[in-house]
């Protein structure tokens, strides 16, 4: 029950924060792109949380523990937070001041990409029960090298790359998308530090790096 109420509290806080960052700068609730993003973001998140609570509460607990203890990774988390803050606010301001908005067809395409990325994210959670929001090696953790992990070494970050870059497009804001282009560079910094830790502390990770060549994007990086 403690885990349930903690998860619900964080979920509701996320809804309030994201909604506030989108609709307050817009100065109106008549922003259909904002409601679309809220729907495709939080409805699957709620369903996934219920599934994890029933089938794998330990995974849900690890996903809720978000405090980074390492200074370098704490900086990465703060930069990501700043990116979201600026990106959502700029999207809302675009509505308030009548800046250029993407046509509906482009928004729909972005929403479809977002949903596909969400499915990929869910598959990563299914394949790897050791995932946590902080960089650490857990007790009895093993290298996963099948499924999506046989294509890239960090499929969770690959999924978040698609998720985060499609978000501003769902909101219809090109200006916000420019801000979110910082994410690949932010996550690259995190991956380099994470791999150094895994290679040092996780048995078999050095061999896994040799087996799976690409970190984030197949045939690119």
What is the DSSP secondary structure assignment for residue 171, as one 8-state letter? Answer: T
Helix (H) or strand (E) holding 36: helix 32-55
Residue 139 lies in a domain: yes
Question: Average pLDDT for residues 49-55, to the nearest whole number?
Answer: 80
Structural domain of 29:
2-211
Q: What beta strand segments (E) does the chain contain? A: none
Residue 218 lies in a domain: no
Which among 160, 156, 180, 172 has a CA at the least distance from the CA of 37?
A: 172
Q: Above 60 in pLDDT, residue 67?
A: no
The CATH code of the domain that includes 109 is 1.20.120.1630
| pLDDT tens by residue, 70-126 | 566 677 888 889 999 999 999 999 999 999 999 999 999 999 999 999 999 888 888
CB 166 within 8 A of CB 127: no
Question: Average pLDDT for residues 188-193, to the nearest whole number?
Answer: 86
């Amino acid at each position: 029950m403690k885990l349930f109420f903690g998860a619900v509290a964080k979920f509701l806080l996320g809804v309030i924060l994201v909604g506030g960052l989108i609709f307050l700068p817009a100065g109106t609730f008549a922003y259909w792109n904002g409601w679309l993003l809220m729907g495709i973001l939080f409805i699957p998140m709620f369903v996934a949380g219920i599934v994890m609570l029933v089938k794998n509460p330990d995974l849900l607990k690890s996903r809720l523990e978000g405090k980074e203890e390492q200074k370098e990774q704490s900086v990465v988390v703060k930069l990501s937070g700043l990116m979201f803050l600026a990106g959502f606010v700029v999207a809302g301001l675009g509505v308030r001041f009548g800046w250029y908005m993407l046509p509906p067809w482009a928004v729909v395409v972005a929403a479809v990409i977002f949903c596909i990325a969400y499915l990929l994210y869910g598959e990563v959670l299914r394949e790897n029960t050791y995932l946590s929001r902080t960089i650490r090696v857990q007790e009895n953790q093993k290298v996963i090298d099948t499924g999506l992990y046989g294509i890239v070494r960090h499929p969770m970050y690959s999924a978040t790359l698609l998720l985060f870059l499609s978000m501003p497009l769902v909101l219809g804001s090109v200006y916000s998308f420019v801000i979110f282009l910082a994410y690949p560079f932010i996550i690259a910094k995190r991956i380099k530090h994470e791999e150094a830790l895994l290679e040092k502390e996780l048995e078999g990770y050095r061999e896994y790096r040799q087996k799976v060549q690409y970190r984030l994007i197949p045939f690119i990086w």
